[in-house]
Chain A
Amino acid sequence: MSAVANKDEVSSKNAAATDGTGLLRISHISHRFGGLQVLDGVEFEVAAGTLTGLIGPNGAGKSTLFNIVSGFLIAQSGSILFDGRDITRDSVRARSAAGLVRTFQTPKVFGKLSVRENLMIGYYQHLHSGPFGNMLRTPRSRGEIEGMRAQAVQAGERFGLQEVMDRPAGKVTAGMQRLVELARAWVSQPRLLLLDEPSSGLNSTEIEQMRAALQRLNREGMTILLVSHDMDLVDVASEVHVLCFGSIIASGTMAQIKQDQAVRQAYLGV
């Protein structure tokens, strides 16, 4: 019996949840820093299996919201439901155990580890051996590290990282690091993948590659929530929410958003 979970199981889990009930439900999230009300009653949903975008002008509160959803900040009021469960006060680790994985605006790859090892770690939480068992090299420990290695190889092939597998992750290009971070998140088989400005620091070719990668991931059944400045990237989303001055001012497809009065006012002052 392999230590590796079946990717089809994850896709079917996601498909099963696509019955209209949101995988992620943000309700009345409000948060202030000192005198500044950064988020004011934010409400939206992310349906399972969709690729959703979150956009908004600078200072709109996107990072704060992202940190709140991923657990790096605990919301002062409001609630977050993930697959029906209230995760509002959960730790980062508890959220990742539930299947909620995020990336970072500047890619946080493990610089001193090789790319291969970075991908291996992605599979950490699906395994269970403890450090003391690891010391004794129990059969379970050995099986687990082999499983992690296999996952890494798979991810390396899928994301085109074969050539850099044994290089320290801190020494590859910024574009590659983004890919490593994305591949690593893919290995962890998230139920919801949160991407924080995945295109920042990339040139136009790389952004195109990122678009394609995201579309492919979504086609395979992964639910993705994407925060971005880049309109071309967010274009792949089937649903977009616009955050402005701490609340959602518009939701819909990209085309609808572009027509929306409130959005035009916020972005263009028209």
Chain B
Amino acid sequence: MPSETHTTKLRRTLLWLVPLVLWAAFPLVATRHMVDLLVFAGLYSIAGLGVAFLLGQCGIVNLAQSVFYGIGAYSVAWFCANKGFPSAVGIAAGIGLSMTIAAIVGWPILRLSGYFLALATLALGIIGQVLFLEWDGVTGGTLGIGGIPFIEPFGFAFDTPARFYFLVWPIAFVLLLLHYNLLHSRNGLALRAMRDEPDAAAVLGVDIHKLKVQMFMLSAALGSLAGSLFAHYVTFVSVDSFAIDRAISFLLLAVLGGVYTVWGPVLGALFITILPQWLSRLGDIHAFVFAAALIAAVILLPEGFGGAISHWWQRRTAKRGLNGGSP
């Protein structure tokens, strides 16, 4: 019946239009502090997307994301603050370096599986942490590097939280879209297949190892991009931001938000940026709450908030007899 399709079309449009409008209006009504928090949520969404996608599609726990985050940040510090190159150079250099390292290190260790692999990435995270500290000629050690310029295309500087909000989130949305495309493509199908039955996937010509390395490189690129944007936002970086607890937050947000949906990391990122604010009165308790949340998610909500919402939505649309799927 025509009126029915009319309402479903309207419903579908509202589904993405309303959140978009809310998102765009947010900086206009919120305090500077809140916008600042949401900027960090955006940065963490990007880095967390890398971790989540790798975990959800390849079953790889990546605890080295803090290293790539740091490489992205220090690249910008080096090329833009020290050498005066434009931001694009710093960002590109960071991504290139991160992907190269991910390829070189990933090639042997991605042949491992399960525990070995996860702990190997954790070991990498620690190696990165120590090297950032020791190579203070490049990184400035605990003193850090300051004076990182803002991103400034054509004279418009992204120098306030509100402006940066409108930079980082569109980038995040585009990346979510790119990953959605990947998931619904030839190789996305291969990733899901090799997660289910690696032997059968190999027999059909899927190069499992090569795909894993490529996904690891992609994850590293995202971490690096997030780190570069972070550096351009806070204009000062030091090793404290790139330690193992950063890698753990990325993993936490991925698991909490849900690794099987593309937009799950956004929920996780919102959780880990907003929650410490609410808890700040109680002192340094948020680390414990994060750990408890990770445990609760693993036991009770293995598909994360995103998965729970996704299932709920599927049940709802199935009941209404619509052919609605979720991304």
Contact = CB atoms under 8 A, between A and B. Distances in A.
Contacts of A188: 204-205
A87 interface: no
A165 interface: no
Interface residues of B, number: 29
Contact of A108 (B185, B190, B199, B215): B199
B104 interface: no
Given A131-B211, A137-B181, A110 B200 contact: yes
A187 B300 CA distance: 40
A136 B218 contact: no
A22 B40 CA distance: 64
A74 B201 CA distance: 19
A47 B242 CA distance: 62
The size class of the interface chain A forms with chain B is 35 or more
Interface in A54-109: 70, 72, 92-93, 96-97, 101-102, 104, 108-109
B265 to A, nearest CB: 16
A169 to B, nearest CB: 9
B202 interface: yes
Interface in A171-199: 181, 184, 188
Given A109-B197, A109-B200, A135 B192 contact: no
Contact of B189 (A70, A96, A113, A136): A113
B186 A134 contact: yes
A117 B186 CA distance: 10
B187 interface: yes
A121 to B, nearest CB: 5
A91 B182 CA distance: 26
A205 B204 CA distance: 29
A183 B73 CA distance: 50
Contact of A101 (B188, B197, B204, B206): B204
Given A110-B197, A148-B186, A70 B192 contact: no
A238 to B, nearest CB: 25
Contacts of B207: 93
Nearest to B184: A145
B214 interface: yes
Name, among A97, A110, A141, A144, the residue most crowded by chain B CB atoms within 10 Å (CB to CB).
A110
A22 B321 CA distance: 55
A24 interface: no
A141 B186 contact: yes
A117 B203 contact: no
Contacts of B192: 110, 112-113, 117
Nearest to B187: A131
Nearest to B191: A131
Interface in A112-146: 112-113, 117, 120-122, 124-125, 127, 129-132, 134-137, 141, 144-145
A124 B206 CA distance: 7
A122 B186 CA distance: 11
B214 A131 contact: yes
A117 B189 CA distance: 7
B179 interface: yes
Q: Is the interface of B mostly helix, strand, loop or mixed?
A: helix
B193 interface: yes
Nearest to B215: A131
A111 B196 contact: yes
B202 A92 contact: yes
A101 B211 contact: no
Contacts of A113: 189, 192-193, 196
Contacts of B189: 113, 117, 120-121, 124, 148
Contacts of A101: 203-204
Interface string B201-227: 111111100010011001000000000
Interface in B236-267: none
A135 B181 contact: yes
A121 B196 CA distance: 13
A2 B97 CA distance: 38
Contacts of B186: 124, 127, 129, 134, 141, 144-145, 148
A160 B202 CA distance: 26
A121 B203 contact: no
A94 B250 CA distance: 37
Given A136-B178, A137-B181, A124 B200 contact: no
Contacts of B203: 70, 92, 96, 101-102
What are the nearest 8 A-B pairs in CB distance?
Answer: A125-B205, A134-B185, A108-B200, A135-B178, A110-B196, A131-B187, A92-B202, A108-B197
Given A109-B200, A122-B204, 6 more contacts: A127-B186, A130-B214, A131-B182, A131-B218, A135-B185, A144-B186
19 contacts: A92-B202, A93-B205, A93-B207, A97-B205, A102-B203, A110-B196, A110-B200, A111-B196, A111-B197, A124-B189, A124-B204, A129-B186, A129-B187, A131-B214, A132-B218, A135-B182, A141-B185, A144-B185, A184-B204
Interface of A: 70, 72, 92-93, 96-97, 101-102, 104, 108-113, 117, 120-122, 124-125, 127, 129-132, 134-137, 141, 144-145, 148, 181, 184, 188
